Structure formats: structure tokens, C-alpha cells
Structure 1
Amino acid sequence: MIAVLTADLIDSSLYKEDVLQQVLDTLTSEFGIITKQNGEKSVRFNIYRGDSFQGIVKSPEVALLIAIQIKAAVNRIHLKKTKKSRAYSKIADFKLAIGIGTQELEREALSESNGQAFQFSGRSLDEMKNENRKTRIKTPVEEIDAEFNTAFFLLDTITDKWSTASAEVVYFLLRGLKEREIAAEINISQSAVNQRKKAAGWEAISGLLNRYQQVITTKLKNG
């Protein structure tokens, strides 16, 4: 079993050139960070069409964490030049589908790879295009899909309310930093980090990540 993440930037044709360039640079950088975190043999990502990306995650139990990390990295983007981290409205976001299943063919080019996970991910993203949804999952088990697609609807509601400052704090929490370390990283007080952490709905997100990892490991990866 592998996970395939497929995503499209939302309304990318409306992005100003500097915004789109910043988003693409951020994605490229983040894919490098994720690859370093997980190992070159465990993850692969590719940007295509200039406004979409796809990735293979060999350990499907960490696919949601990786997806939210990429989302937080993009959602925290702003082009304001300030000395301290401040809250701004998000200027970029994307729809993302996670497909978990088998892989029949792996080629050097992701676009030439194929299998159940690729089909699940691609079809799920297509289904989302006319929906007010930003995150969806498809697996071989309908009960898992039902549970997490309901949870992802709530996740979308939480993340839609993120400011760039909220996304930034979540991003560093997902990278494993403590509140004190985040405060030093973005030049704000630890109490401010804690406030942004609460505003971002971190406890709910953390609980969802734990549940996802548990279910995917026990019912799919080891089942």
C-alpha cells in the first residue's frame, strides 16, 4: 500500500505573477524538506502544469501529516515585508486528494506511474472540482473513507479560518518544534505562539493526525 497525493492550486489563473512564483518556490522547497525528513526512497513529488502537484508517499500513515504540512507552508505565504510575524489573509490555497492503494507501475516520471492509489487520488480530485471541499481521501475500505471524509470536512472548516500567522505556527508544530523554538524562529513571544496555536485549532488537528495514523496503520498497512 502507498499513498498518492494529487493537488490543484485554487484559482491559480487569478494569481499575480509574484504570488504564483512564491507559491511554486515554496512547494519546491517544501518537497525538498519532506524528502529529507522521510528519505528519498519514501517520498517523491513533482509539480506539473504550473499549478498542480503530485506525490508518492510509501508510508501511507504519514500522508495526512505531509499534506497538512504542505498546506500550512503554502497558507503562511504573504508578501508583506515586516520585522515581526503578523497575521494576514491567505493568498494561496489548493484542493488535495489522498489516494491509498496498490501501485502496479512506478516510473521515473510520476505521470507515467500507475496503480490503484493513483486512480483513487486522481478521481477524488476530479470529484472535488465542483464541491466546496479542499481535502478528500479514497481507500479500498469504505468505512475508512466515510470516517475521514467527514473529519476532513471539519478540517477544511478549521483551516479555512487560518490566517498566515496561524498557518505558520501549525507549520512549525508539524515540523516538531516546541513553542519556545517557534517563538525564536518567528520573533514573537511564546504566549503569542500559544494563542495562535489555539486559534489554529491545533488540538483538533493533532487528534485527527493521531487517529489517522492509527487507523491507516492497523486497518490498511498491517491489515
Structure 2
Amino acid sequence: MKTVITGDLIDSTKYTPSELDAILNVVNDEFDYFRTTYDVDFKIFRGDSFQGVVLDSSLALDLVLTIKTVVNKIPINRKKISGLTDFRIAIGIGNINLKRDSILESNGEAFQFSGKTLDTMKGDYPRLLLKTADENLNEEFNVHFALLDSVTSKWSVASAEVVYYLLKGKKETEVAKILGINQSAVNHRKKAANWDAVAMLLKRYKVAIGNYARIKGS
């Protein structure tokens, strides 16, 4: 049982070439970090989309939110872009039947779940969906993700920046030092981002998806 994460940049045609280049550079740097820290493989394709394979399915939501927050916190001219820079992302969990050197040439249930689900995502929302062979699991988390979309749609660049470092396991004092602000400011941004609720969702996802993977024999 593996996880495939597929995403595409929302309103990608509205970014200037230099803005798009900056976004992709930041995402690529994050993918390099993923490769050295986790057992994953991520690739950018078409210039505004990505796909990744994650062997530990319980980590997928952490990685997804890291991708989202790393681009959320990029300062972009907002004249043509509504809201923060963001990706639509579909998480597919299942078997992988064909694994080639390039994940873009691989295939299997997890790829189909992820790719086909992303194809259904049009407009501004939803921005995150889960697809597995268990419809009850899908229904549970897609309700959670709809609420998460509602929370993240209200984030500022400053809030996303703090969440990014919290996802990396940084403490408030460490985040304050990195950002050059005081701890009370970090705490304020953390509350504005509804971090406690997001952390509860991450914990629930790890437990539920970990159990699902074990039942399925991976």
C-alpha cells in the first residue's frame, strides 16, 4: 500500500514567468528536503504540476501541508491572484503495479486514484481530496479536508509561514528566532492559523491511515 500525491498550481497562467520560476524553485527545494528526510520521490511536470510517491502513507498529509505552506508564504503581486499561492492536491492510496525509474511512467491503483481525483477538482474548491478503496474513509477525510480548506483560505502569508515551521517540528522560540520576531507574535499567528485544530487533524490522519495500511497488509 503506497500513497501517490498529485497536485497542480491554481491559476498558474496568471503568474508571470519570473513568479512561476520562483514558485517552482521553492517547491523543488522542498522536494530535495523530502528526498533526504523521507523515503519519497517527487517530480514536477508540465511546468505547473507535480507528482510524488510516499511509502509511509501516514506521512502524506504532513507532506501535503508542507507543500501548501511553502508556496502560501511566497510573496506574490496580488493584483491578478486571489488569495495565497496554492495547489489543488489529490492523495491516492493503493497498490502500485508498475514502478519505472520515473514516477511519471509508473502506474497502479494509487496513481489512478490520485490522478483521476485531481481531474475532478475544478474551480477554487475543493483544494484537497483523498481517494482510497474505502469509501467510508474517503468520506470522513474529505469532510475534514473541506473544513481544512475553510481554515486555510483565511490564512495570511504570515500565518502560513509560522505553520510551515511548525510542520517541521520547530518550537515557538525557534520559529521566532528564524523569523526575527518575538515569541508572542509567533503564538498570535499560530492561533490565527487555527494550528491546534490542524494538528489534531494531522494526528487523526496518521492514526486512521496507519491503521488502514496495516489492515491492507502494507
* TM-score of the pair, normalised by structure 2: 0.94
Aligned to 2:21: 21
The correspondence of residues 101-116 of structure 1 with structure 2, limited to 5 A, is: 101-116=94-109
Aligned to 1:162: 155
Give ranges in structure 2 of 5+ residues lacking alignment.
Answer: none
What is the rounded CA distance, in whole Å, between the counterparts of 2:116 and 2:166 in structure 1?
31
1:137-161 C-alpha deviation (Å, 9 max, x unpaired): 0011111000000000000111111
What is the rounded CA distance, in whole Å, between the counterparts of 1:215 and 1:93 in structure 2?
26
What is the rounded CA distance, in whole Å, between the counterparts of 1:27 and 1:61 in structure 2?
21
Percent identity of paired positions between Structure 1 and Structure 2: 48
1:76-135 C-alpha deviation (Å, 9 max, x unpaired): 10159xxxxxxxx85411100000000101111111100000000001101112572100
What is the rounded CA distance, in whole Å, between the counterparts of 1:21 and 1:112 in structure 2?
25
The answer to whether structure 1 residue 34 and structure 2 residue 34 are counterparts is yes
RMSD in angstroms over aligned alpha carbons?
1.4
The correspondence of residues 77-96 of structure 1 with structure 2, limited to 5 A, is: 77-78=74-75, 90-96=83-89
Task: Write the letter of the residue equivalent to 1:172.
Answer: Y
Change (3 A) 1:99 1:186: same
Moved over 3 A (4+): none
Local SS of the residue matching 2:170: coil
The answer to whether structure 1 residue 124 and structure 2 residue 117 are counterparts is yes
The answer to whether structure 1 residue 70 and structure 2 residue 67 are counterparts is yes
Aligned to 1:49: 46
What is the rounded CA distance, in whole Å, between the counterparts of 2:185 and 2:32 in structure 1?
29
Aligned to 1:86: none
What is the rounded CA distance, in whole Å, between the counterparts of 1:151 and 1:79 in structure 2?
28
